[in-house]
Chain A
Amino acid sequence: MINLLLLPVLIPFLFAAVLLLFPKKVKAQRVVTMIGLAFALASSIALLYKVKVNGVQALTLGSWAPPFGITMVSDMFSALLVTSSLLIALFVVWYSFTSIEEEREKAFYYPAILFMLTGVNGAFTTGDIFNMFVFFEVLLMSSYVLIVLGGEKIQLKESIKYIIVNIVSSSLFVITVGYLYSVVGTLNMADISVKLAEIGPSGIVTVIAVLFLIVFGIKGGIFPLFFWLPGSYGAPPIPVLALFGALLTKVGVYAIMRTYTLFFTTDVGYTHNLLMILSILTIVVGCIGALAYFNVKQIIIYNIVIAVGVILFGASVMNESGMMGSVFYLIHDILIKGALFLLIGIIIKITGTSDLRKMGGLMKRYPLLAWVYLIVAFGLAGIPPLSGFIGKLLIVQGGFEGDLLWQSIFILASSLLVLLSAIRIFIYAFWGEEKGQHLISKEKYRHLLAPAITLASLTVLYGVGAEYLVPFMTDATNVLLDPSIYIDAVFEGVK
């Protein structure tokens, strides 16, 4: 089954196309979406197993020989990301059954989610830089639908900003790919890596590296290109926000990590230092934002920005501990941000506001929600043995090994600020006098809590069972640090 690596991309696509046939039948839409996601998840787990046993999987479409055809490559890093993105989508869709209004469900909500997953998984899997642009467009188109769906005033306002920012960054993406093509004469990522290594350090390559950083930085939300993110992500309803927050920025982060380990390794002194400085600044800005707001959505959104900084810092040091920490932290962040958004979604549904000052005393009536939130908040900050701990530990260890003493200490200190920002929500929302009205029925509350709790327990398992994940993470790290594994897999049997 050599096409296995394509199934996580194709299955959501097929089901999305089928869903277009009967948009008004909400029940059928829900069932078909869940079936599609379950199939896709099963295929991605099979892929994960296959990559673990047989090593990197590569396939060039249409039976062309690489580098002429479009190559799809699935190494451990991308297989892990594909699996976690399908997992998070499964929970978000489950949560949407109760959370999203029927009008939205009738207006192509589920097909848009599945098309977006096609794009996300495609971008994680592709081994062709122009094809990556195409998959970026697929996921962006669907995210335009999701951000504007419902047509509230704030959504319309923010979606214009979102679309303009993304159109600009997408055209910059094509321009940058054009520059790269004119230097190396190929679009196949493995081939680019070989050609760039032959060229060695040169000014134009560094320029292209920085341009790629700008392109993916806009998508990923690094300093100073994250300006659109807090506003745009705050506009759509919670399940969409959970998907965006957990997945979309991660695609940008993935692309930075991929290009900065596979392509631009010749002038590390400049490019990776720049990445390191920007990631530290990203954390600073994220911390300020996370502490400054009284809006729960904004607090968690700024926590996305912090996480992007932490992951990229780990990647920028380019040693084994740092890179492994980044991979650990990236998967952790997908899961934990999903769980957090689902939980604060429940808080917002109960109180009818996202302003911390207008809520309080939820502990008395919703103790389970409170404790689950607390566990997830601890996981976010990285308190052992929860999920954020191992990743951050390895990243900081990598920082020390790379002689980045102050930066590493700063990362540690930022965890405290992250904890503070998450605990502020706990204190304001759950402690104190009961305030405001309680807007949802017991039944609805249970329906919303079930996916959130399941996801939260998964994050706990991820932290506690980190030992069992180490072999997978080691494989992912090895491919990132040693591009020849990736290149050999693509050109296997050709050269």
Chain B
Amino acid sequence: MKTNDLIIQTTTKVVFFIIFLFSIHIFFAGHYTPGGGFVGGLVMSSAIVLLMLAFDLKTVQDMLPVNYTVITAIGLIISLLTAAGSIFFNVPFFTHVYDYFNLPLLGETSIHTAMFFDTGVYLVVVGVTMNIIQMIGGDE
């Protein structure tokens, strides 16, 4: 049976990008306010799940031809290496540092090593969630 999914497909094409940008917003908001890599990652995966609902697993896999296991692994490595940076300065593991930088367009911005750690978390959450959903959703 062919279902009529024109409305959801059209909406998704727009909404996907809104959710995606929102997840980036939440990710950076976590710097000083509630949010962060974990929530941001979940929001991002929910955007991909919305795509899967609107289209189907196969189409989405063609659209985003990424191996989520590799994304998880890269996320783990980024997080671990950021935290392990403290080993080279001989301070306790997980010790973070931050400073203020003058960036083009953004002006004076505080950059915190915890942000790089959170980038890893973001990737791990997206990778793991999508892996699980694909694995369960791929089963007939």
Contacts and interface: CB of A to CB of B under 8 A. Distances in A.
Q: Is the A/B pair a real complex?
A: yes
Given A18-B73, A21-B70, A3 B80 contact: no
25 contacts: A1-B87, A2-B92, A3-B86, A3-B90, A3-B93, A6-B87, A10-B80, A10-B93, A13-B80, A14-B77, A14-B84, A17-B73, A17-B77, A18-B77, A20-B70, A20-B76, A21-B70, A21-B73, A23-B69, A59-B93, A61-B92, A62-B94, A62-B96, A63-B92, A69-B92
Contacts of A6: 87, 93
Top 3 nearest A-B pairs (CB, nearest first) are A20-B73, A17-B76, A62-B94
Given A20-B69, A20-B70, A60 B92 contact: yes
Interface string B74-95: 1011001100101100111111
B88 to A, nearest CB: 9
A62 B95 CA distance: 4
B90 A2 contact: yes
A418 to B, nearest CB: 42
Contacts of A10: 80, 84, 93
B92 A3 contact: yes
A21 B72 CA distance: 9
Contacts of B70: 20-21
A396 B69 CA distance: 51
Nearest to A14: B80
Contacts of A20: 69-70, 72-73, 76
B80 A61 contact: no
Interface range on chain A (Cβ under 8 Å from partner): 10 to 19
Given A10-B80, A10-B84, A61-B94, 10 more contacts: A2-B91, A6-B87, A6-B93, A13-B80, A20-B72, A20-B76, A23-B69, A62-B92, A63-B92, A63-B95
A3 B96 contact: no
Contacts of B74: 21
A69 B92 CA distance: 11
A10 B76 CA distance: 12
The listed residue with most A CB atoms (<10 A of its CB), out of B80, B90, B94, is: B94
Interface in A1-59: 1-3, 6, 10, 13-14, 17-18, 20-21, 23, 59
B93 A61 contact: yes
A2 B73 CA distance: 27
Interface in B55-76: 69-70, 72-74, 76
A215 to B, nearest CB: 27
A218 to B, nearest CB: 27
Nearest to B90: A2
Contacts of B81: 14
Nearest to A20: B73
Contacts of B87: 1, 3, 6
A18 B73 CA distance: 7
Contacts of A62: 92-96
Contacts of A61: 92-94
Interface string B88-116: 00111111100000000000000000000
A6 B70 CA distance: 25
B139 to A, nearest CB: 14
A1 B90 contact: yes
B50 to A, nearest CB: 27
Nearest to B77: A17
A14 B74 CA distance: 11
A62 B85 CA distance: 12
A32 to B, nearest CB: 12
Interface in A182-226: none
B136 to A, nearest CB: 16
The listed residue with most B CB atoms (<10 A of its CB), out of A18, A21, A72, is: A21
Contacts of A17: 73, 76-77, 80
Nearest to A23: B69
A33 B23 CA distance: 36
A63 B91 contact: yes
A263 to B, nearest CB: 25
Nearest to A16: B76
A23 B68 CA distance: 13
Contacts of A2: 90-92
